[in-house]
């Protein structure tokens, strides 16, 4: 993203607060105007107040200096507060927009981006954009007007002398720039030398067996000597240039200062400039150094903001989750039918694919045909749990099949609105997606937040949550901590079951692939039996206790269904399933 594009997009956030922006800009302009005024006060102070021993004028000048600093302080306070208010508001608005965009994105986006990177965009990147906005706005307004004012005053005093001084200053800056470029190139050479030494040492360490067996010690030692000698040469060249640069700059500065003073003295002989005017001129030119440096370095100041802005707006420009369905359905019976369903994950979707996983390309799911009857509990089992997880995630359309179709009560899922489809589906995961809130709030989450206390308590009792809640001093109002870390894995799982019970949806997806549930098997099984009763349930599991309770087991291998039957039937007849079951809990 170019700086112009970034500014245009950021102005959409700044424009609604134009009154605050006006205060900030006005304060900066006033601050900039005080700088040449301070330089201007030097002329009457030296020429008339001190030389002429005019005490009244001296008092007026000194009061003027105090007044200018008072005005500068007030303007600085206003501009600093206003520009930082805008920066903080910009950060807040960007964070809200990014979070709302995240909520609208498809499951594929979440699977292909780590939580850490998304959190960093919302927190760090938005903050970096705001800091860049504050810095760049301050430089462009305050420093630009400061430079204009100082140059205007200097040229008003003596345009010839000002032009001479500026020319000398530009020459010195050119010398500094040339030396900096030369040092930067030499720094790159030193860095390459360090990389060369690192490479030799790393190869020698990693291949120490070959070095010792094939007598490579002298060869490796010679390589290191050559690399270190080269690095030494580069370092000394860099040192020589840096050491030479200092006296060269000093000589150029001295020559420039001598030429300026000589020219000023010649003019003073013919009364073209006074001592006070000369001092005021030199002060104005000296005051130019800092704002000119900031203006010259604005590209470096802008760069982090451009990077962060590109990251932010690439997220904001992501297309939302596609809404292909137009039909809003009521409560369904829960019949699911998969017809020739194939699924090919994109890179980063979180599903294994490729030779190392035993899959061919695009074969996480391939030509799946399966009927799940209303109220039936079906277990999805595979050597690679990604196949089972992918099949389950297709039902709420977190991911979409590349071919085939999935029907709910005879209606294609793609034709159903996402809101009404997902209103008929509940999810229970061993990861137990809990939020940093109370147990009651986690049970009655989202659309169920208006549920009565009686309904919440009933769901908690059925899910065996009440068995550990009664031991907590705050009961259902006990905070669970970030990601529920104050609770055990089994307790978190039972809260997720209670949430599904409260939702009371006809279709249920259960993912209990977690060894952390082993210690609470009895409570877990009783709660799971309560929530699956009478619901169409797809359960991803490797637990024998759960498999024995299911109506059917679907065995997936290399993306295809290889066997369907009850747990006992497959255990007796299917060798692959029996081998797999021996690894189960």
Domain boundary among 464, 479, 495: 495
pLDDT > 80? residue 262: no
CA distance 516 to 485: 13
Does any domain span residue 271?
no
d(CA 251, CA 168): 12
Please report whether residue 88 resides in a domain: yes
Which of 476, 495, 514 is the last residue in one of the domains?
495
| Residue 97 confidence (pLDDT) | 93
Q: pLDDT above 70 covers what percent of the chain?
A: 90
- Report how many domains make up the chain: 2
Q: What is the pLDDT of residue 270?
A: 54
Q: Are strands 336-343 and 365-372 parallel, antiparallel or unpaired?
A: antiparallel
Q: Is residue 354 a contact partner of residue 327, using CB atoms and an 8 Å limit?
A: no
Confidence label for 50 from pLDDT (cuts 50, 70 and 90): confident
What is the band of 347 on the pLDDT scale with cuts at 50, 70, 90? very low
pLDDT at 272: 62
Q: What mean pLDDT do residues 409-421 have?
A: 92
Residue 268 has pLDDT above 90, yes or no: no
Q: Report yes or no on 382 lying in a domain.
A: no
Asked, for residue 200, whether it belongs to a domain, the answer is: no
Q: Is residue 14 part of a domain?
A: yes
Residue with more model confidence, 504 or 525? 504
Tokens found for residue 238: 């860099």
- Domain end marker among 462, 495, 528: 495
First to last CA, the chain: 53
Mean pLDDT, residues 238-260 taken together: 73
Task: Examine the pLDDT at 374 and tell me if it is beyond 60.
Answer: yes
| Strand intervals (E) in 108-168 | none
Q: Which bin fits 534, alpha (ψ -120 to 50), beta or left (φ > 0)? A: left
Does 181 map to a domain?
no
With cut-offs at 50, 70 and 90, classify the pLDDT of residue 361: very low
Instruction: Let me know: does 435 contact 375? Beta carbons within 8 Å.
Output: no
Kindly report the CATH number assigned to the domain that includes residue 20: 1.20.1560.10
Is 113 a domain residue? yes
Q: What is the pTM of this model?
A: 0.74
Between residues 50 and 511, the one the model is more confident about = 511
Question: Residue 353: what pLDDT?
Answer: 44
Query: What pLDDT does residue 363 have?
Result: 61
Q: Tell whether 13 is covered by a domain.
A: yes
Q: Which domain holds residue 112?
A: 1-157+297-320
For residues 432 and 427, what is the distance between their CA atoms, to the nearest angstrom?
A: 9
| CB proximity list for 536: less than 8 A, separation 6 or greater | 334, 335, 336, 372, 373, 374, 375, 376, 506, 507, 508
């Amino acid at each position: 993203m170019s700086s112009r594009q970034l500014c245009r997009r950021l102005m959409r956030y700044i424009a609604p607060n134009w009154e605050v922006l006006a205060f900030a800009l006005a304060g900066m302009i006033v601050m900039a105007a005080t700088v040449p005024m301070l330089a201007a006060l030097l002329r009457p102070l030296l020429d008339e107040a001190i030389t002429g021993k005019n005490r009244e004028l001296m008092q007026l000048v000194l009061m003027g200096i105090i007044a200018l600093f008072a005005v500068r302080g007030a303007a600085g306070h206003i501009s600093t507060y206003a520009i930082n208010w805008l920066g903080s508001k910009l950060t807040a608005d960007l964070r809200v927009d990014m979070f709302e965009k995240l909520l609208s994105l498809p499951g594929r986006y979440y699977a292909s981006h780590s939580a850490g990177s998304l959190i960093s965009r919302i927190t760090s990147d938005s903050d970096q954009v705001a800091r860049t906005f504050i810095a760049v706005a301050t430089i462009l307004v305050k420093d630009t007007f400061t430079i204009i004012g100082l140059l205007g005053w200097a040229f008003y005093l003596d345009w010839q002398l000002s032009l001479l001084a500026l020319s000398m200053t530009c020459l010195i800056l050119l010398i500094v720039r040339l030396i900096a470029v030369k040092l930067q190139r030499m720094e790159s050479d030193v860095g390459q030398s360090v990389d060369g030494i690192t490479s030799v040492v790393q190869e020698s360490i990693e291949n120490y067996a070959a070095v010792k067996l094939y007598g490579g010690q002298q060869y490796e030692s010679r390589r290191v000597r050559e690399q270190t000698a080269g690095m030494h040469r580069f370092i000394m060249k860099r040192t020589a240039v840096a050491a030479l640069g200092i006296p060269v700059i000093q000589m150029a500065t001295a020559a420039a200062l001598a030429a300026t003073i000589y020219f000023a003295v010649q003019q003073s002989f013919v009364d073209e400039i006074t001592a006070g005017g000369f001092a005021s001129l030199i002060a104005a030119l000296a005051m130019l150094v800092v704002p000119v440096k900031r203006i010259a370095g604005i590209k470096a100041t802008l760069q982090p903001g451009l990077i962060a802005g590109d990251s932010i707006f690439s997220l904001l420009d992501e297309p939302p989750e596609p809404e292909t369905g137009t039909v809003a359905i009521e409560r369904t019976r829960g019949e699911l039918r998969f017809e020739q369903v194939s699924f090919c994950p994109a890179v980063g979707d979180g599903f294994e694919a490729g030779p190392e996983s035993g899959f061919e390309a695009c074969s996480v799911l391939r030509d799946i045909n399966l009927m799940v009857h209303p109220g039936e509990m079906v277990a999805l089992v595979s050597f690679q749990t990604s196949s089972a997880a992918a099949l389950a995630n297709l039902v709420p359309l977190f991911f979409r099949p590349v071919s085939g179709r999935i029907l709910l009560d005879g209606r294609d899922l793609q034709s159903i609105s996402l809101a009404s489809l997902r209103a008929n589906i509940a999810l229970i995961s061993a990861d137990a997606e809990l939020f940093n809130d109370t147990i009651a709030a986690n049970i009655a989450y989202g659309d169920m937040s208006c549920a009565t206390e009686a309904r919440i308590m009933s769901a908690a009792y059925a899910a065996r949550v009440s068995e550990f809640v009664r031991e907590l001093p705050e009961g259902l109002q006990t905070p669970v901590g970030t990601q529920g870390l104050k609770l055990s894995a089994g307790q978190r799982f039972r809260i997720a079951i209670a949430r599904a019970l409260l939702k009371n949806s006809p279709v249920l997806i259960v993912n209990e692939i977690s060894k952390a549930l082993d210690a609470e098997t009895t409570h877990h099984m009783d709660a799971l039996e309560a929530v699956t009763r009478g619901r169409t349930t797809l359960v991803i599991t490797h637990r024998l206790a759960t498999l024995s309770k299911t109506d059917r087991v679907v065995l997936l291998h290399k993306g295809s269904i290889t066997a369907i039957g009850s747990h006992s039937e497959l255990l007796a007849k299917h060798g692959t399933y029996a081998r797999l079951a021996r690894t189960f809990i």
